[in-house]
Structure 1
Amino acid sequence: MTAKKEKAMLHETLLLKKEPSDVNWILIDAEGKTLGRLAAEVTKILRGKHRPTFTPGVDLGDGVIIINAEKVYTTGNKGAQKIYRRHTGYLGNMREVPLNVVLARDPQRPITQAVKGMMPKTRLSNAQLRRLRVIAGSEHGMEAQKPIQVNI
């Protein structure tokens, strides 16, 4: 082998293909965690970036179960200043709700929205987001998946 060919072989990148049913489930307790930092870690796990075999175009990530979603917090004045907007589809019907109210009504929504906003906008990330479960209480009912408790 020539020196040029040996050097080229050193720079090859390993690209994996999807192996069926190798999804692990990870359990994360959101109590006392900051919303954005939690969402960033969950996004990394869903995409598979925590594995050494990460391939951008292949779904190699794990499933995530987040419990105690109502106990997540934000720093500063974000509770009153961060606004969630949605439109009903009718003229002039923009609905604006602050984070404090959204957390009181539906504690899963801020975490889901934060994770979704950090994912790439592709069909692959839509498939990866289907493996995200956010639960308000401490009971998740997914013991059959044998989730691994992780501290983030």
Structure 2
Amino acid sequence: MEDTVKTYYAKPNEVAREWFVIDATDQVLGRVAAKAAQILKGKHKPQYTPHVDTGDFVIIVNADKIRVTGTKALNKVYSRHSGFPGGLKQETFTEAMQKHPERVIEHAVKGMLPKNTLGRKQGMKLKVYVGPNHPHAAQKPRELKIEEM
């Protein structure tokens, strides 16, 4: 009888969840979003399983202080359509940051998650706040630093 290595698959009820806080002050939008998406998926854990939600919760504070590089502040455009004729609405990154900065980060992170029910479930674990305060102190979140290259 051969010794075969069994592949480990995480079970949904065995996943231990942690909470992480990312301070977005003077951080680049794409770097913060990529790190948050990685944690939401659970790719930082050794028991990562692609079809199971093994990820942790992510809190992003100071969403209004995030930045983009180059001319993206003027050229990056967010579009949506109501479905009716003439229903195309567009706004630049700068306009979106003035109205709703937390939605800009949510849009960037959710674009890096899978486009299925698992991705939507992972997106629910993202919490974004404009100021430095958040109501999740009881969960004892760990501070997470984004390394600059």
Provide the TM-score with structure 2 as the length reference.
0.93
How do 1:23-102 and structure 2 match up within 5 A?
23-102=17-96
| Higher CA-based Rg | 1
Q: Could you list the runs of 5+ residues in structure 2 that have no partner in the other structure?
A: none
Q: How much does 1:28 deviate?
A: 0.6
**1:86 match: secondary structure:** strand
2:97 counterpart residue number: 103
- Whether contact under 8 Å (2:15, 2:54) holds in the other structure is no
**Counterpart for residue 13 of structure 1:** 7
Amino acid at match of 1:138: P
| CA RMSD between the two structures | 1.3
Task: Report the AA paired with residue 21 of structure 2.
Answer: L
What amino acid does structure 2 have at the position aligned with 1:14? Y
> Could you tell me which amino acid in structure 2 is paired with residue 67 of structure 1?
V
1:89 to partner: Cα distance: 2.9
Determine the C-alpha separation between the residues in 1 that align with 2:95 and 2:55. 32
Counterpart Cα distance in 2 of 1:39 and 1:144: 24
Whole-angstrom CA distance in 2 between matches of 1:53 and 1:71: 34
| Count of aligned residue pairs for this structure pair | 146
- Structure 1 unaligned spans of 5+: none
Shift >6 Å, 4+ stretches: none
Alpha-carbon deviation of 1:75?
Answer: 0.3
Q: Contact between 2:9 and 2:49, CA under 8 Å: does it hold in 1?
A: yes
Give the letter for the 1:49 counterpart.
K
- Partner residue, 1:120: 114
